[in-house]
Chains A and B, each alone.
Chain A
Amino acid sequence: MVEEIGKTVEGDLIINVGPQHPATHGVLHLVLTLNGETIKKVEPHLGYIHRSIEKMCESLSYRQFIYSTSRMDYLSAHINNHACALCVEKGLGIEVPARAQVIRVLMDELTRIASHELWWGAMAMDLGAFTPFFHAFRERETINDIMEETCGARLTMNYNVPGGVMADLHPNFQERVKNFLKLYKLKIHEYDELVTGNIIFQNRMKGVGYLSKEDAISYGVTGPAARGSGVSSDIRKLYPYEIYKQLEFDEILETEGDSFARYMVRLREMNESIKIIEQLIDNIPDGDFQAKTKAVLKLPKGEFYQRVETARGELGVYIVSEGGTTPYRIKFRSPGFSNLSALDHMARGGKIGDLVATMGTLDLVIPDIDR
Chain B
Amino acid sequence: MIELIIWKTDYTYMSKEEIKTAISELLPTAVFDETGEWLNVQIEAGEWKDAALKLRSLAGLSFNFLFCLTCVDWKTHFTMVYHLRATASLDDIVVKVKLDREKPEIATVSDIWRTAELLEREVYDLFGVIFLEHPDLRRLLLTDDWVGYPLRKDYEDPINMIKL
Contacts and interface: CB of A to CB of B under 8 A. Distances in A.
Nearest to A371: B141
Interface residues of B, number: 41
Given A245-B9, A305-B37, A320-B72, A218 B4 contact: no
Contacts of B81: 318
Contacts, number: 108
A181 to B, nearest CB: 21
> Do most interface residues of chain A lie in helix, strand or loop, or is the interface mixed?
mixed
Interface string B1-42: 111111101010000000000000000000000011110000
A149 interface: no
Contacts of A304: 37
Interface residues of A, number: 50
Interface string A331-365: 10100011011100100000000000000000000
Interface string A197-228: 00000000000000000010111111000000
A19 to B, nearest CB: 13
Contacts of A308: none
B115 A314 contact: no
Nearest to A221: B115
A239 B114 CA distance: 24
A336 B142 CA distance: 18
A250 B113 contact: no
Interface stretch (B43-51, B61-69, B100-108): B61-69
A237 B3 contact: no
Nearest to B113: A218
Contacts of A52: 150-151
A298 interface: no
Interface stretch (A165-173, A187-195, A251-259): A251-259
B37 A219 contact: no
A305 B40 CA distance: 13
B162 A305 contact: no
Contact of B7 (A55, A251, A305): A251
Contact of A220 (B6, B115, B126): B115
B162 A345 contact: no
B140 A316 contact: no
A46 interface: yes
A264 to B, nearest CB: 7
A104 B35 CA distance: 30
A319 B4 CA distance: 35
A337 B6 CA distance: 30
B150 A47 contact: no
A340 B6 contact: no
A231 interface: yes
Given A47-B142, A316-B67, A316-B83, A238 B2 contact: no
15 contacts: A54-B126, A230-B3, A251-B5, A253-B3, A255-B3, A256-B1, A302-B35, A303-B37, A314-B67, A316-B68, A318-B81, A328-B72, A329-B72, A341-B115, A370-B141
Interface of A: 46-47, 50, 52, 54-55, 59, 215, 217-222, 230-232, 237-239, 245, 250-256, 264, 268, 302-305, 307, 314, 316, 318, 320, 328-329, 331, 333, 337-338, 340-342, 345, 370
Q: Which 6 residue pairs spanning A and B have beta carbons closest together?
A: A220-B115, A47-B141, A331-B70, A333-B68, A341-B118, A50-B141
